[in-house]
Amino acid sequence: MLTNEVLEEIYQFREAHAKSFNYDVAAMFADWRKRQAESGKHSITLPPKKQPTKSSQSTV
């Protein structure tokens, strides 16, 4: 089976991070939020794209 070194590194980091918080999702999420705030980077959330309705779709 092929392995992807980048993915393996990500998996190892995620496992170590989860283990350091005793697999407590709320604590891990709080840590991610804290890291994001400390980084000074802003995330942008775009609104979802509107799906066309059946009446606006053309029939062929």
pLDDT tens per residue, range 23-58: 999 999 999 999 988 998 887 888 988 888 876 555
Amino acid at 53: T
> Domain residues of the chain, as ranges?
5-39
Tokens 């062929």, located at residue: 60
pLDDT for residue 52: 83
Q: Tell me how far CA of residue 28 lies from CA of 24, 42, 57, in angstroms.
A: 6, 19, 44
pTM over 0.75: no
